[in-house]
Chains A and B, each alone.
Chain A
């Protein structure tokens, strides 16, 4: 590209670069106001609201008598069941280790003061509030899925009682025994459940406290929808109807959530991958709260579904993540400083280029001043031999003009100015030549002769 073409391009480019820099700066400033934008990829949308507070899960209908009354009751009988108590145990097995242990069984859902009152009954060796078993400084708690299942599906606290009694007596604890029994649901039972599930996607048995399924939590946990079967707490000692496997056998692709009281099971696709994990992490965290309180099934189900969602988003089992497009502005923001820096640098370089003296390159090629200056100087020297008093002043003025032209050229003053001075000198020398009377010394002729 020629130098001139390059120059012609450089100036618009310079201003374009400035425009881009200003634009980037404005975008940056505007982006400062939008810090609230939050782009995340694959963060679980599960709500973080938990269940564990002191007052949550208390029931107004649950209450206990005064400490004195309870103390009298415990003194009268080895096992006292207060109204509303839900804990049961294998009396045969407990009796084998019990000795003169006195057990006070209180209902779940007591508030803090009422729990304190139960603990103040000093002659009770063991206190059972809901299914929370404590005594002395100890509190027994389950840590396996079958134990939690027995505790929350039927109110079975046999293993907890045995563990606590033997611990209090510093004896060795016999191994836990899973006494829960299952039965296949009968044909009419299964038909009734299926009818409900086909119609509304959920079956709430009489006595169950599930009013509705928490919608957002359910959608997050099972985007394709799931069936919910809610049953009340099962009577202790009776076999549980095995709805989950029975329904799964008929609808293998259908996620099914079955609740027995506060015990939640998952059956269906992916069950092997996460059902145990979800159950273990859920009951591991909430078992102690759930055991002493009286939550409706809906609340517990909501928390369980959030846990399932968390597991799903943690990538622990195979499910596609919902696509969340990234905000292009946020993605582009880190590049802005570099873009800005590049624009500033380009503008600075182009500005510096534009400051360079433009005359040099152009002037040198077309500048005839040195040639004329040299020619006229030589002419002046030659003519000076022939001048007399009359023609001397013109010659001297010509030489003065030549000197002025030379210093102007050396100072790089505009070419036009140098030319004017040279013209002046030419006119004076022309005068001189005419006064001397030699036509070949007239500058036009002389210079033409020199150049040819």
Chain B
């Protein structure tokens, strides 16, 4: 060992690094999971709305506009995913209510 102080320094750095990693990693993991979940919800809602659209006897321009907007949001964070899901659900409701 080059110098006794290096030993302590390395130990302290390891401790801090381990602390940072154990704090940041679960946080990032949770965020990523949240985002993927939100997008999973949004995709399900969009697909569901698309089915409703195909089944609807008439065109509903507002619903189509909403769905287009939802599809255009297909990239982004949790907020974008929630907005897309909300638009898609609204469109779905409109198409279903038409019958």
Residues of A at under 8 Å CB distance from B? 18, 21-22, 25, 28, 337, 340-341, 344, 347-348, 351, 354-355, 392-393, 396-397, 400-401, 403-404, 407-408, 411, 413-414, 417, 420-421, 424
Contacts and interface: CB of A to CB of B under 8 A. Distances in A.
A21 B44 contact: no
Contact of B48 (A21, A341, A401, A413): A401
B41 A348 contact: no
A424 B44 contact: yes
B21 interface: yes
B37 A408 contact: yes
Contacts of A28: 8
A394 B7 CA distance: 67
22 contacts: A18-B19, A25-B11, A340-B8, A341-B11, A344-B14, A347-B15, A351-B18, A351-B19, A351-B22, A355-B22, A355-B25, A392-B55, A393-B54, A397-B48, A397-B51, A401-B48, A403-B47, A404-B47, A413-B36, A414-B33, A414-B37, A421-B40
B68 interface: no
A176 B21 CA distance: 88
B90 interface: no
Of residues B4, B47, B54, which shows the largest number of chain A Cβ atoms within 10 Å of its Cβ? B47
Given A393-B55, A397-B52, A347 B18 contact: yes
B95 to A, nearest CB: 9
B60 interface: no
A341 B43 CA distance: 50
Interface of B: 4, 7-8, 11-12, 14-15, 18-19, 21-22, 25-26, 33, 36-37, 40-41, 43-44, 47-48, 51-52, 54-55
A401 B44 CA distance: 6
Given A396-B55, A404-B43, 13 more contacts: A25-B12, A337-B4, A340-B8, A340-B11, A351-B22, A392-B55, A393-B52, A400-B47, A401-B44, A403-B47, A411-B40, A413-B37, A424-B48
A421 B40 CA distance: 9
A424 B78 CA distance: 21
Contact of A417 (B12, B22, B41): B41
Contacts of B19: 18, 351
A411 B37 CA distance: 9
A18 B11 CA distance: 11
B40 A413 contact: yes
Given A21-B15, A340-B11, A393-B55, A404 B25 contact: no
A25 B21 CA distance: 21
Nearest to A396: B51
Of residues A21, A28, A417, which shows the largest number of chain B Cβ atoms within 10 Å of its Cβ? A417
A404 B47 CA distance: 9
A40 B53 CA distance: 93
B68 to A, nearest CB: 19
A401 B88 CA distance: 14
Nearest to A425: B44
A421 B52 contact: no
A354 B41 CA distance: 29
A354 B22 contact: yes
Which 3 A/B pairs are nearest by Cβ-Cβ distance?
A393-B55, A404-B44, A400-B47
A365 B40 CA distance: 24
Nearest to A349: B18
Contacts of B47: 400, 403-404
Contacts of A21: 11, 15
A413 B47 CA distance: 19
B81 to A, nearest CB: 12
